Amino acid sequence: MRSATDIQHDLDLSQDDLRRLRLRRTRQAATGLLLVALGVLVLAHVMGGPQPAWGYLAAFAEAATIGALADWFAVVALFRHPLGLPIWHTAIIPNSKDEIGRNLGAFVENHFITEEAIGRKIHEADPARLLGQWLQDEQHTRQLGAQAAAALGQLIDGLDDAQHEKIRAVLRATVTRQLAGTDLSQAVSVLIDQLMQDNRHQQLLDAMLEGASGYLGDADHHPAITQFLIASLGIESSMIKMAINAYVPRTIAALNQTLGEVLADPAHRFRARFDAWIDEFALRLKADPEWAAKIRQHQIEMLTSSPP
């Protein structure tokens, strides 16, 4: 099976053959018209006499002949010496190709490859928009992520232990510095505002309620919940443990029923209370300096006490 390169090569050759054929036909037509003009010129001079029309026809044929010869000489003089005679200022392109190339390059550089021209072309192409459209395709992002991960993995595999430690130290210092300079209280308050603006905090609540309901609804988790309650309360009495073991399933069922009611009712009173809690929490993050100071303190302690 022929490759695409071979097919393209054959197409290029076909185009070249077609151009050569057209050029030959054009040259034959021009030569024919020149011979016609010469024939008319000779005929007009032979038949010339008292009739002035032959004079006009002769002048017309003479002008056509001279014009054709001048055009032929001008075109031929661009590429070679006419009739092989080394006449001055002929074969212009072969003799001046280096200078023509320099002038053409200077013209392109000064008029096309300029900062303004390139900037205008880049602005018209809008590569940022094209890249954004390309990245919006999920298949493209997966391919890019896979290739980037593979390249990064190969890069890391090629490093020794000392280089790994240096990279880890640089990354840890950079992340620590960025986190230390971040105002978490303001960042969290902005995040909460965005969640509440789009009502996404209720969606987050639904996700948490669904997760809790699924966990509580699984009977395999009930023994662990019972043991957690007993251990948390520090109960040692066997009778109280038996009572807890007896009532925990009912309590879990009642709690799970309540969670289901909240999930099913968008206007449940618990949702209004949840809105109030979230709103108050965001307000305190923005306006309470004590909260901001405590969050800042915990942030610094967490960063400075993190294991190396």
In this structure, what DSSP letter does residue 82 have? G
- CB neighbourhood size of 189 (10 A): 19
Q: Domain coordinates of the chain in residue numbers? A: 4-90, 179-304
Closest C-alpha among 92, 64, 66 to residue 77? 92
* 6 pLDDT tier (thresholds 50, 70, 90): low
Percent of the chain with pLDDT over 70: 91
Where is pLDDT greater, at 247 or 2? 247
27/25 Cα distance (integer angstroms): 5
In this structure, what DSSP letter does residue 199 have? T
Give the number of C-alpha atoms closer than 13 A to the C-alpha of residue 238, restricted to the C-beta side. Answer: 0
For residue 96, the model assigns a pLDDT of 79
CB 213 within 8 A of CB 260: yes
- Whether residue 83 has pLDDT greater than 80: no
Q: Between 161-180 and 289-304, two packed helices, what is the crossing angle to 10 degrees? A: 170
Closest C-alpha among 176, 189, 183, 187 to residue 293? 183
For residue 231, the model assigns a pLDDT of 82
127/6 Cα distance (integer angstroms): 33
- Non-local (6+) Cβ contacts of 225 within 8 A are 216, 248, 252
CB 144 within 8 A of CB 135: yes
Q: Contacts for 219-226 with beta carbons within 8 Å, 24 or more apart?
A: 222/248, 222/249, 222/252, 225/252
Which class for 259: exposed (0-12), middle (13-18), buried (19 or more C-beta within 10 A)?
A: buried
- CB neighbourhood size of 292 (10 A): 18
**Which residue, chain included where needed, has tokens 């990354």?**
171
Average pLDDT, the chain: 80
* 9 pLDDT tier (thresholds 50, 70, 90): low
85/66 Cα distance (integer angstroms): 20
* 279 pLDDT tier (thresholds 50, 70, 90): confident
63/38 Cα distance (integer angstroms): 10
Please compute the mean of the pLDDT values over residues 83-90 and round it to a whole number: 77
Closest C-alpha among 68, 1, 60 to residue 30? 68
Specify which of 91-105, 185-199, 247-261 reaches the highest per-range mean pLDDT.
Answer: 247-261
For residue 69, the model assigns a pLDDT of 86
For residue 49, the model assigns a pLDDT of 64
* 165-213 tens-digit pLDDT: 777 777 777 777 776 667 777 777 777 777 777 778 888 888 888 888 8
For residue 1, the model assigns a pLDDT of 57
pTM greater than 0.85? no
- Whether residue 135 has pLDDT greater than 80: yes
Angle at 111 between CA 108 and CA 117, to 5 degrees: 110
Closest C-alpha among 176, 257, 149 to residue 213? 257
For residue 7, the model assigns a pLDDT of 66
Percent of the chain with pLDDT over 90: 0
Please compute the mean of the pLDDT values over residues 19-45 and round it to a whole number: 87
* 58-70 tens-digit pLDDT: 888 889 888 888 8
